[in-house]
Each structure stands twice: as C-alpha cells, then as structure tokens.
Copies of this chain bind each other. A is one copy, B any other.
C-alpha cells in the first residue's frame, strides 16, 4: 500500500525555518493546497471546517448587535470604484479586471471586488430615506480578490474569504461606538474561540484603510514573534456618504449625510491559529474551534472486543464533543498518533485490550502531550474538563509569549537591539509624523502595529526624531 511508505510525515523544524514549517503544516495537516490558479489556494475540508466554526460563532455575535446578512454583486463597474478618491488610489492597483463577458468586449470593465464599500454605498444611496432607516447594518460573507505579488496560503492569498460589514449611522458618535463594538466582538472571537490574545488599538495614518478616517485593529503575535493584523474596523466619517451622495432626512426634516463604518475578518485567521499555536509536532487546535475535538485510536484493533468497545465510547462521546474514531486498518498505531498530533486534535484517547479489561483508557492532551489513565465511566467528565483546560492553557501560553516578547525602547539602538534579539512587539514613543514612521521601518523592518488604546508614557520624545512625542506606538515585523 502506497500510504505505508510515508510512516511519519516529515515537518520542518519550527525554530529552524518557520516559513517552511508553516507551509508544511498547511499541506500536511490537510488544511489547503496550491492550485493552478496562481496565488489562489483550495481550502480542503479540514481547513474549511475551521472556517465554518469561525463563521458560526461570529455570525451569531454580529446578529446579536442587529447586523443582517445580504449578498451584493462580485463585479464592480470601474466608474463606481473611482468615486472615492483615496479608496481608488488604494485599491485600483491591485484588482483583477473582467474585460470580456461571453463573446462581447465590455464597454466598461468590471473589477472583482477587493472590498465592497463602493457597491454598498451606491445602493445605500438608493435605499436610504429617513432617520428611521438608521442605523443600517448589513454584512456579507463572501470571496474577495486582491492581486498580490507575494502570496502565502491563508495569510496573503489573491482570493480569500471574509465577512465585510457596512453600516450607516445618524451620528458620528454612534458610528464610532459601533466601530469599537465590532472590534470588541473580534477580540472576543480571537481570544475566546481561537485562544489568541489581541492587542487593540488604532492604525496610524499610513497604515489605515484607503478611504477611512480611522482604522481600528486587533493584532496578534505569532510563534516567531512576528505580528499579524487579524481584524480591522474602519470609521469613514462622511467620506463615502458624500462621494456617493447618500443622504437621509433627519429628525428635524433636513437632509443630512450619515456616518459610515466597515469591518472585516478573513480566512487569514486560520493562518493565525496555525502560527500562534503550532509546534514541532504540527498543528495545535484550540478545542472550541477544532473540527475534531477528540479522536479515539484503538490499539490492537483486531483483538476481540476492541473495535466494539471503541465504537461504544465513540457513540457516547460524539453526543457532546466532535469526535472521530480512527478505524483505518492500513496504518500503524504509531503512524496514527503522529497523524492526529500533526492535525492538532486536542484530545486523543488510546484504547487497547488490557485497558478494556481494566475499565480504563489512556488520554493524551495535545497541548502538553501529558498522558493520563482515566476510568471509562469517568471519561465524559474528564474529556470535558480537559478540553476546557486545554483551551485556557493555550490562551495562557500565548499571553506568556506576548509578555515575554514585548519590550520597551527608549532610543533607536534599543529598538534595533530588541527587535533583532527578540522580535515581538516593541513599545516606543512617536511624534506622529509619517517621515519618522517610514524611517523606523527602514531601519528596523518593523511596521507600526497600532496606537494602543491603553497608552503608557515611556518618554516625552519621539524615538526617531527626538521631537515632542504624541503617542506610544507598538511596532513589530509583520506577516
């Protein structure tokens, strides 16, 4: 049998070549594969099931705050894309253009949405009448396309999946508050479902979304100390509502432009899960988002009673946990253990003939690899406890890493030293000028991650130019 040849799937050492380790995991844990469409991946069932769990969780949360799902066209006429000056400058260079439909050359070319502010704004202008229609809170789950030059599975793919919310509000205050409300929902999603702590704050002018007044972000830190922008929420003020002539009759009967937001998270979050939690044995999935939470691997499966007992346990556990029973007869037990570790299943149950005799099984947790012998009649409660504990432990491990990898820099030398030795987040004061931001990036390779909501005063002076500092910024090299 072909499969027996590759007894253990080789994974690159995580400390040696993190980028290669990442690609190994994506491919070998069967999350996704490359395709003949350059820069685009195929998300396989195991990867897609993670996305489905993210969708289910987030969809419920955004519906709770009054958001409704819709679906708008994937193709945007060039003239619409051009209506908001900053937006078109930001996105036009990286869109794919449809120039031919069926047999006809199109009179006006259409782009595949890189994001949908323009098409939402165009329709909002048609629909919005009165303050009674506000707030207007729509979202869509869809594919978008950006013509990236360098691509990596999940992290930066030409096509990716996301949700994009687009809202209109009567007042600036309400719109800004909603932007933050969504940011907090993203924080909850990433911290509670994906077990990754976030850094929350505002993007600098340079890093904000094309067309936005403010971009708020949740940033996460990966295993190698690089940062990943993991979700953003934008406040547009009246930029698009004026450009698209979106007006409403206010409570005083006068016409007014509403205030707008948009916000999104993408399949990049799957990349975050891989890179925040994984280790040399492979993927490590937080129980809450894991497609398979518990796997049962019978040992000496051919021995009488083993398969039956395994099935019996499966039936019981599968009622409460997403459970898999590994009855493959063309793989050794050792191969199976490795395989499920590679695929990051949080809890593995090993069950052999002697275990059955003794009314026990061996339970192995993926995060610490700790083994415990558990009585079969206590298995359910034990699994529940364990999943809960693994979720917490994985989160805590990431908190610890973020703490260890966060440093303070008072001058450029310290900054360089910190980032070179430690990667991670570097806190440093900044004057607010893009010039300094660019220079810091040039010297250190670190982008500004955000101006954290929780500010600290490290010194009075910009780390770069030495002039009066406005803000404490967190910096980091990024994906």
Q: Which residues of B contact A110 (CB under 8 A)?
A: 37, 96
A143 CB to nearest B CB, Å: 6
Cβ proximity bits A71-89 to B, threshold 8 Å, 1 near / 0 not: 1111111001000000000
Q: Are A126 and B33 in contact (CB under 8 A)?
A: yes
**CB interface residues, A 1-57, toward B, < 8 Å:** 1-3, 33, 35-37, 40-45, 48-49, 51-52
The interface-forming segment of A127-135, A403-411, A439-447, A457-465 is A127-135
B103, B119, B328: the one contacting A35 at CB < 8 Å is: B119
* Given contacts A42-B123, A101-B96, A72 and B35 within 8 Å (CB-CB): yes
Q: Which residues of B contact A143 (CB under 8 A)?
A: 71, 74, 142-143
Q: Are A119 and B37 in contact (CB under 8 A)?
A: yes
A150 CB to nearest B CB, Å: 12
* Given contacts A102-B93, A102-B147, A52 and B73 within 8 Å (CB-CB): no
Interface status of A68 (Cβ within 8 A of chain B): yes
Q: Which residues of B contact A132 (CB under 8 A)?
A: 1, 3, 328, 330
A interface SS class:
mixed
Interface status of A98 (Cβ within 8 A of chain B): yes
A63 to B94, CA, bound (A): 37
A36 to B82, CA, bound (A): 14
A143 to B113, CA, bound (A): 13
**CB interface residues, A 423-445, toward B, < 8 Å:** none
Stoichiometry (number of copies) = 2
Q: Are B138 and A45 in contact (CB under 8 A)?
A: yes
Q: Are B69 and A159 in contact (CB under 8 A)?
A: no
Q: Are B142 and A1 in contact (CB under 8 A)?
A: no
A100 to B72, CA, bound (A): 22
- The chain B residue sitting closest to A52, CB to CB, is B69
Additional pairs, 16, CB under 8 Å, beyond known A93-B102, A101-B147: A1-B132, A35-B73, A37-B75, A40-B73, A40-B74, A40-B75, A42-B70, A42-B72, A42-B119, A49-B69, A74-B145, A96-B101, A98-B98, A98-B99, A101-B158, A102-B149
Interface status of A95 (Cβ within 8 A of chain B): yes
- Shortest 6 CB-CB distances between A and B: which pairs? A102-B147, A45-B68, A40-B73, A97-B100, A37-B73, A43-B71
Interface status of A380 (Cβ within 8 A of chain B): no
Interface centre among A37, A43, A49, A80 (most CB of B within 10 A): A37
Interface centre among A33, A70, A132, A145 (most CB of B within 10 A): A70
B35, B102, B158: the one contacting A95 at CB < 8 Å is: B102
A112 to B48, CA, bound (A): 21
Q: Which residues of B contact A103 (CB under 8 A)?
A: 93
A144 CB to nearest B CB, Å: 10
Interface status of A161 (Cβ within 8 A of chain B): yes
Q: Are B73 and A41 in contact (CB under 8 A)?
A: yes
Q: Which residues of B contact A93 (CB under 8 A)?
A: 102-103
A64 to B325, CA, bound (A): 16
Interface status of A249 (Cβ within 8 A of chain B): yes
